[in-house]
Structure 1
Amino acid sequence: MPGKGTIGIEVPNQNPEMVSMRSVLATEKFQNTTMDLPIALGATGQGKSVGINAILVSLLYKMHPAQLKFVLVDPKKVELTLFRKIERHFLAKLPGEADAIITDTKKVITTLNSLCIEMDNRYDLLKNGHVRNLKEYNQKFISRKLNPNDGHRFLPFIVLIIDEFADLMMTAGKEVETPIARIAQLARAVGIHLVIATQRPSVNIITGTIKANFPARLAFRVLSKIDSRTILDSGGADQLIGRGDMLLSTDRDPMFEEAARMIVMHQQGSTSLIQRKLKLGYNRAGRIIDQLEAAHIVGPFEGSKAREVLIPDEYSLEQFLSTLDKEK
């Protein structure tokens, strides 16, 4: 078992059972759970689109239309058409656009840039409302402590879902990657979330920037161990049955906080320092550095130089880590 001194043995179930959507939605654990939305990957026909549909339905089940809006991007034009029926209540679209489900690449770029503007506007509202996150802001607004005449408004969650991310990366590249990375990095605190799916798990599509900003990763069956490592940083997805079963990688490394404290104490953002001090392998130390970058504890890669440490002292780090825990 990764990170533990134990061995896990998988035993196949002789009497497999169908797990219905209703049986999951009815549980108390589902009602109370909170988790980052994922990046999903899988070969054709392995259940990826069904998984996206399940995420959509689960959110529809939990939220009122006033609390939630979807932005749906479907380059293949057929995967998300089922959700046209909820356009009036749940789908958000740009002013002047007739179609709520976006299929044109140019419109996708415009939509992503518009979401970045909305994100910045929401941060301004949070700052003016003297709160730190969307939940506190909406509670304050509902309690009539924020004046609508000053521009304040109830802020619904916005969930952006992109069904075939590879098509966008191949046609638009950096024009798509940059706003998506920015939304994934910064938008969670203001209630904007992102789900992306692809069937092409190459490093040109799932770049280091994209991976670093998606702590939750969902892998359906893929064709090779290399594809599995691209999404999960480990093998295993290539050995799935291919009947909708999947592997889920969530949250940060168990050594994340210890590595952060050591990096800030030494003021040196180095993979080799994590390897040496925490006695970890290169791959795991590299993943922790990526997670530290995504959390804005260290700066971006600068060639042979050590990364810049963005937090000046251990006291500031402890405050920052407690904020991260509250956001989870």
Structure 2
Amino acid sequence: MPVDLSVSEVRDELQRAAGKEAIGSGQSATRLLGQMFHEVFADLCGKDPLRSGIRVVVDAAPDRDAGQQRLLSHTYHALVGPRLTRHQPLLQETTRQVLVFWEAIQHLTRWLTDLVWTALDATKEGLQTWEEIAALFTVDEKLTRELRQPDWSDSVRLVGITDALIRIPRTSRFCTIELKLGAGRPLMDLAQVALYRLLAAGQVPSSADSALALLHFAPTLAETLITATEVATVEPRLLALLGKMAGVATPPKAPSAATRPEPRKEPKAEPLPATRGNRTPAKPEPRKTAKNPAANVEVLRRSPARSVPEAAFTSAAMPATQSASHPPKNRPLGAAPPAVEPTPSPPREDPRKEAVATTPAGGSTSAAAPTSATAPLVTSTSATAPPASASAPAASERYAELGQKLVRAFREYGSPVDLLGEPAVGPRFLRFEARLGRGVTFDQIARRTKEIGLKAGIPKDPIISRYEGHLRIEVERPDPQTVPFASILPALGERDPLRGSALVPIGVDVAGTLRTADLASPINAHLLVAGTTGSGKTEWLRMAIAGLLHANTPETLRLVLIDPKLAAFTDLKRSPYLWTKRGLWTPGSGSDVDEVLDDLSAEMERRYQLFEAEGVDDLARYIEKTRKPLARIVCFCDEYFALISQDRQIRKRIEAQIFLLGAKARASGIHLVIATQQPSRQVIQGALNANMPCRVGLMTQSAIESRMLLDVPGAERLTGYGDLLYKDVGDPVRLQAPYLSPEERARLFKPS
């Protein structure tokens, strides 16, 4: 069976190998603005007459200048303005990036006007309507190609989505368009061109005579047209990289003793430079290589050097340990390679009774041993993996049988689907990808989720969504696993005694990678957490706190804990991490909770006065300039609804302070993590909804609550025990929260 690789995985590997040298010098833009830019482009080139920019330009003919002006006005009022208004809370601290975004939009409208007029001039005898010109554009085209090489043990299926394909009128040629919001990455552009040419060559006619255009829209428009001939020398090295990533390349045979070259004397390595905050660099894991890696390097050296970054291809193409994002052929897609064989827990019991080690997000099962007072608080227990369990094939057969049950259930209800490969295996769910049968619509599938779940014998209704042109069907795993908290510690990094860490662990994705929220980012500055009883909400809060404690000292982190239930944070009541003024609030502590928030607001203003005196505008720059730590303050509230449901006047004061802190506190290093059991309209609307775009949705009671929290249903179908949906930019991502055992919690939270 072919091994699937996505273009994004290959691009990430090239970027990792190329390092900082591959990064261009353009202005940065947030992920949200990049997503908005691509959405606006798709609307302008699409076939919806109310959104189409092509229609606006054609309707203005023969006045070209008027067409460009009308297009700019249409783009702002119909497409850009509504998006900026909808995402205003996320963008209120990114003024510079928004200006770069708007400059790029202006370049885009001029470019599209020129392109439409070029099409009109070239086809005066043919294309006359805007619909005919719009038909030349195919936006978000999914391309798939199966690649084979003589030295591969299996084929590789490369999958990617190009921003647009433009057909050249009256010919079979085409141009592939890739958009970049920002300046180029010169060392990476040609590699990406070769990647898309490999894709298109197997699917689009006459691709060998076609071209790819790279359009960088900020700070100035830079359009680069690259022909097939220019990338021909890159493709052999790119194919070598794909084979290594997929695990199908056959290692070269070691030379015999008679032909083995003399070993080359390596130069003495220079000492590593000190890392940020004068931390000692972590000792790298030994790198697994093929028997003769020098042969691969020599092949690359013989290739022309003008086309692609030598360092990127040399490093990336070397045989290395399999990464979690590039699954080899002999395991389910998306499943991380286990470092310690997981032991299945009973399907319907709480699997947290016994923590089971899974693949750590950092790629290692052990952390560095503590060497100083600022060493990590907890280390993993083992770095040695026992032999693989004989139950693995049986589990794969069980998953395949479940997939066939789903196929039969869909067919019985008149909505046939075809599964695409093996399922991705997450800690608590299986993800099947499928293609709709002929004549079947997504709405038909979505309406049948309850019946499909019952027919297939699944305890919880499946979660069905669209993804890259096909279906994703997520069902509860029959043998759920626990992700131990210790397994994520390598991904959280070491302590920085000056700057600390603003990373909050959220959960582990289906590839075994830890997802974190960076509190220093405007999008992730404050978190809203919701989940019903049994969803794991309080355990998630404790896990998030433990992650912050692991990567900080009391000089870089302080906690404010609000515990209306008197049960969530009792282990921390004597912690040195508590804020000295008001560290732990509980009912009956002698003050109202709004006074705690008042104190945080006063601290925020005091910090801004410090920043003004130093001529800086945020916590990071203040620390860099003064070289003195100033603790980040994170306020955790376990049950928000209990605070606002008693007294109307207290609720008004609480909401006023939350609105103020949510709008202003990020730059001062003060953050809110607020949790509630009831994400209803009465609770979320107002201060929380306006200032907390980063959401963690554990299992909810209804689809309505899921929509209130995440803007989409699905959280009501989660399985509990830390199974969650995480949303910051774009669609929610399903993750599994690591489990912090009582023993680990006692060790981490104990007074020093």
Task: Judge same fold: TM > 0.5, yes or no.
Answer: yes
After superposition, give the CA deviation of every residue in 1:221-252 in whole Å (9 maximum; x if it has no partner). 11111111111111000001122211111137
Equivalences for 1:1-328 in 2 at 5 Å?
5-10=469-474, 12-27=476-491, 34-35=517-518, 36=524, 37-86=526-575, 89-94=576-581, 100-104=583-587, 106-142=591-627, 154-171=629-646, 172-251=650-729
The 3-state SS of whatever aligns with 1:131 is: coil
Amino acid at match of 1:18: T
How far apart, in 2, do the equivalents of 1:104 and 1:123 lie? 31
**For residues 676 and 614 of structure 2, what CA distance do their matches in structure 1 show?**
38
Instruction: Please give the secondary structure, in 1, of the residue aligned with 2:696.
Output: strand
Further displaced range: 69-78 or 103-112: 103-112
Which letter maps to 2:605? D
> Hey, what's the Cα distance between the residues in 2 that align with 1:162 and 1:23?
26
Q: Distance in 1 between matches of 2:729 and 2:686?
A: 16
Q: 1:136 to 1:167 in 2, by over 3 A?
A: same
Task: Indicate the structure with greater strand content.
Answer: 2
What code does the residue aligned with 2:600 have?
L
1:110 and 1:170 mapped to 2: Cα distance? 17
Cα distance in structure 2, aligned partners of 1:189 and 1:90: 21
Shift of 1:107: 2.8
Change (3 A) 1:76 1:14: closer
Is the 1:216–1:250 Cα contact (8 Å) retained in structure 2?
Answer: yes
The count of residues paired between Structure 1 and Structure 2 equals 238
The residue that corresponds to 1:147 in the other structure is none
SS across alignment from 1:251: coil
Q: What is the letter of the counterpart of residue 669 of structure 2? A: G
Q: Which secondary structure does the structure 2 equivalent of 1:55 belong to?
A: helix
Distance 1:223 1:185 in 2: 30
Distance 1:174 1:3 in 2: 41
Cα-Cα RMSD = 2.5
Would the aligned equivalents of 1:240 and 1:246 in 2 still touch at CA under 8 Å? yes
Shift of 1:65: 0.8
1:124–1:245 CA distance, 2 compared to 1 (3 A): same
Change (3 A) 1:44 1:161: same
Change (3 A) 1:129 1:5: farther
Work out whether residues 493 and 551 of structure 2, in 8 Å CA contact, stay in contact via their aligned partners in 1.
no
The residue type equivalent to 2:593 in the other structure is V
Compared CA separation, residues 104 and 211, structure 1 to 2 (3 A): same
Whole-angstrom CA distance in 2 between matches of 1:241 and 1:11: 9
Aligned-partner Cα distance in 1 for 2:493–2:710: 25
Unaligned runs of 5+ in 1: 143-152, 254-328
Question: What is the SS of the residue equivalent to 1:243?
Answer: coil
Note if contact 1:71-1:93 (Cα within 8 Å) is conserved in structure 2: no
Alpha-carbon distance between aligned partners in 2 of 1:60 and 1:73, rounded to the nearest angstrom: 17
CA distance in 1, matches of 2:492, 2:678: 35
Q: In the aligned structure 2, how far is the partner of 1:113 from the partner of 1:4?
A: 47
* Partners of 2:600 and 2:492 in 1: CA distance: 33
CA–CA separation in structure 2 for the residues paired with 1:12 and 1:122 = 47
Deviation at 1:180, TM superposition (A): 0.9
Where 1:173 maps in the other structure, the secondary structure is helix
Instruction: Give the secondary structure class of the aligned counterpart of 1:195.
Output: strand
Structure 1 position 218, deviation (Å): 0.7
Distance 1:252 1:121 in 2: 35
The farther-off stretch of 160-169 and 122-131 is 122-131
Deviations 1:200-230 (Å, cap 9, x if unpaired)? 2221111233112112111111111111111
Kindly provide the amino acid, as one letter, of the partner of residue 184 in structure 1.
Answer: G
Tell me the alpha carbon deviations over residues 111-145 of structure 1, each in whole angstroms, 9 at most, x when there is no partner. Answer: 10111111112112212211121011012111xxx
- Tell me the distance in 2 between the aligned counterparts of 1:195 and 1:4: 32
Q: Distance between the aligned counterparts of 1:221 and 1:22, measured in 2?
A: 24
Question: Structure 2 counterpart of 1:111, which letter?
Answer: V
Task: Give the distance between the partners of 1:135 and 1:2, measured in 2 at CA.
Answer: 39
In 2, distance between residues paired with 1:188 and 1:159? 10
1:9 offset after TM fit, Å?
2.9
Query: What TM-score do the two structures reach when normalised by structure 2?
Result: 0.30
Whether the 8 Å contact between 2:476 and 2:719 is mirrored in structure 1 is no
Does the CA contact (< 8 Å) of 2:492 and 2:551 recur in 1?
no
Distance 2:492 2:558 in 1: 24
- The runs of 5 or more residues in structure 2 that have no matched partner are 1-464, 495-500, 504-515, 519-523, 732-752
TM-score, length basis structure 1: 0.66
Equivalent pair of 1:43/1:220 in contact (CA under 8 Å) = yes
Task: Name the amino acid aligned to 2:586.
Answer: T
> In the TM superposition, what whole-angstrom CA distance separates every residue of 1:166-214 from its partner, at most 9, and x where no partner exists?
0111132111011012111111111001101111222111123311211
**Does the aligned pair in 1 maintain the 2:658–2:687 contact within 8 Å?**
no
Alignment identity in percent? 34
